Amino acid sequence: MDQYNNRQITKGGAGQVAMTVLIASSFTKSLDRLTGQEQAAAKITAFDIQSNPDSPGLSLHRINNARDPDFWSARVNRDIRIVLHKRGGDTLLAYIGHHDDAYAWAERRRLERHPKTGAAQIVEVRETVQKIVTQRYVEEEIRKPALFASESDETLLSWGVPEDWLETVREATDDTVLDIAGHLPDEAQEAVLAAAVGEAPTVRIVAQEGSGYAHPDAQRRFRVIGDQAELEAALDAPFDDWAVFLHPAQREFVDRDFNGAARVIGSAGTGKTVVALHRAVRLADEAADNRVLLTTFSPDLAKGLSRKLARLTGGRPDLARRITVDTLPEIARGLVPEDLFGRPAIASEEEMEGLLADAAEKEGTDISPGFLAEEWRLIVDAWDVRDQETYRELPRLGRKVRMAASRRDELWRVFARMRNALEQSGKETEAGLMHRLARELDRPPFTHVVVDEAQDISVPELHFVAALAGDRPNGLFFAGDIGQRIFRSPFPWKAVGVDIQGRSRSLKVNYRTSHQIRSKSDLLLPPRLLEVDGGEDRRLGVSSVFHGPTPELHVFDDEATESARVGGWIDRCLSDKIDSTTIAVLVRSAAELPRAQAAIAAASMDSADVRVGLMHDAKGREFRAVAVMACDTDVLPSEARLLQASDERALKEIYDTERHLLYVAATRARERLWLSACKPPSEFLEDLLREAAD
């Protein structure tokens, strides 16, 4: 966002006060809870406010019972009201709801500039909040110490805690800290939760004059609206627009210069993609001749990146032209010049299977087809092995099965025959093309490469991007989460010439997923995930910025009962004003899709637009409510995949990626999560049920 002081909008003629219209994240969230017809009417009124915040047609009334005298209501229709905060020349769209709801929201809050940090905050009035320490905690409070009893007012204020919440925060225990934090402004909540788990809170004290809207912490929840087009964009896709806003804690990863390849990691919802987007824009904006590749592994994810990038580069077509968004296979194909034979012919998986089976038959080997296929995919093709000597001496990275030299020679005869057949057919593998380009490219078309979802990058893809921009300062930047690796096998990046040691950073604040969903999903993964290179991802100390309902976990006797109950859950979501397009039902494979479709059919309310899909396809997407069903023992982990395992290493790899897959599916939910199975349930679901029982 541009600085607030540079975005004032003058309304009226000469001599009139400069007026600025802003929109709060609390407004877009409350707008999302209205029906489509109510939203349409609300947007018309919002446009009127943007055009003239004092228009008589708005039927403005001061909210008399509000603790903040600057809260006003604007009439949308007979029942819907917009809560405005009007002070000086600033008009803030703060909230929208039905009449009583809107007034009650305003009566429980005030907008102020924090006395220590300088950030504008919407603060819940402490006296209006129901007793936070509930009865069931009373006995525990007697025994459990207050977490922040020794912290001074000055320290708590530096965390962004409002003045009238100081004593409440100071009295927080292990049992009550989450409830208390949920009532605080975002930066105070994050600092309190970080301190509760032993992390050092981030302190941002910015000396400034005025309202406090320009403070970095304030800019994550308030944005200045420059014109009607900008307001319309914010209202048309409220969540998506806020989702690309850069939090101050992420700014370091965007602006910092690195001497070599660098990476940002973090669990689902911590904003890795937002960092990748902003870093791509920053690099493109540094010089007119910079050319940035923003890439990911999936065409659908690439399309999503393109849409979000368009929001960041709006009004800067010159900047947008410097950034290319595509998958690496498509980039590789585009770099090969057309000749008499056209673009490179890539062998399909089916063709590769046929060539491998034919080569094995002609060599008369008794090695299992599954082992041969994995050896080709993980070793020979992945590492571009072209001769017998290299294959014999190559460390079998990622393969823990010992192999005698004579056995390697037998395997190589199969692979050599296969390579010969492949060349005779005039085709090459996708991996082979990338390795070839990495060797032959004289003038790479990109100055910088930013890779999103980097946990699923393959050996040839990493070799390719290293050749594209690996030697330049800030040339390579990766964003990913080891816990979401579901498509590719792990390997040591140093073996491909990419070393991120000392240049890997972790994000610790979850902006997308409620505390309840995040903490439940985190139980699917260990607190530390080890990398092949010897590094580790410590997943402790992550906090969420908002709270929601506890995830529902269920096990049923039969499929019909499960589908009926999921249908009832969908009805509850719809009755709570969750739009059907923001609800998803996910299953492991196509075989379980009929169960998901039966669940949607079982809903009594209009559920036609509820999304149905596979867990794999949900990667990179977000929904307000997600039901992950059919988590049966023979479905998750996939029995078909387990039967394909050729050795112990492969079996562990399958178990790990299947567990990661459930984690990915569960963390697609922002506010509500349902997990269910038919007896007997998946061992992964049993782990969560056991934790819930404990």
pLDDT digits (tens, 9 = 90+) for 403-415: 677 788 899 999 9
Contacts of 438 (CB under 8 A, 6+ apart): 460, 463, 464, 466, 467
pLDDT score, position 334: 87
Identify residue 124 by its one-letter amino acid code: E
114 with 152, same domain: the answer is no
Q: Which residues pair with 164 in a beta bridge?
A: none
Residues 318 and 453 in one domain: yes
Q: Same structural domain for residues 654 and 559?
A: yes
Q: Would you say residue 486 lies in a domain?
A: yes
Q: Are residues 566 and 624 in the same domain?
A: yes
Contacts for 635 with CB less than 8 Å, ≥ 6 apart: 588, 589, 591, 592, 677, 682
Residue after which a domain boundary falls, among 385, 407, 427: 427
Output Rg (C-alpha) for the chain, integer angstroms: 28
State the total domains in the chain. Answer: 5
Query: Which residues pair with residue 327 across a beta bridge?
Result: 296
**How far apart are alpha carbons 633 and 262 in whole angstroms?**
39
| Burial grade of 43 (CB within 10 A; 0-12, 13-18, 19 or more) | middle
Q: What is the CATH number of the domain that holds 517?
A: 3.40.50.300
* pTM for this entry: 0.70
User: What separation in angstroms does the CA of 455 have from each of 270, 360, 493, 511?
Assistant: 15, 33, 11, 20
For the CA atoms of 403, 409, 411, 415, the dihedral, rounded to the nearest 10 degrees, stands at 140
Q: Is the pLDDT of residue 11 over 50?
A: no
pLDDT tens by residue, 51-109: 888 888 899 999 999 989 999 999 999 999 999 999 988 999 999 999 999 999 999 99
Claim to verify: residue 670 and residue 604 sit in the same structural domain = yes
Burial-class residue 181 by CB neighbours within 10 Å (0-12, 13-18, 19+).
buried
Neighbour order of strands in the sheet with 669-678 = 552-556, 669-678, 623-628, 583-587, 611-614
Check residue 135 and give its pLDDT: 41
Token look-up 């010089």 returns 287
User: Same structural domain for residues 56 and 163?
Assistant: no
Alpha helices in 176-237 (DSSP H): 177-181, 186-196, 228-236
Asked if 567 and 684 sit in the same domain, the reply is yes
The Cα-based distances of 226 to 21, 243, 368, 373, 599 in angstroms read 8, 19, 65, 58, 44
Which of 96-105, 204-213, 575-584, 640-649 has the weakest average pLDDT?
204-213
Under the banding of pLDDT at 50, 70 and 90, the label for residue 134 is very low
- In a domain, residue 285? The reply is yes
Q: Are residues 623 and 504 both part of a single domain? A: no
CA 4, 8, 13 angle in degrees (round to 5)? 170
* pLDDT tens string 279-301: 999 999 999 999 999 999 889 88
Write down the residue that tokens 């249908």 correspond to: 567
139: in domain: no
Mean of the per-residue pLDDT values of the chain: 84
- Pairing, β 71-75 against β 80-87: antiparallel
Domain enclosing residue 170, as ranges: 145-196
Q: What is the DSSP letter of 62?
A: E
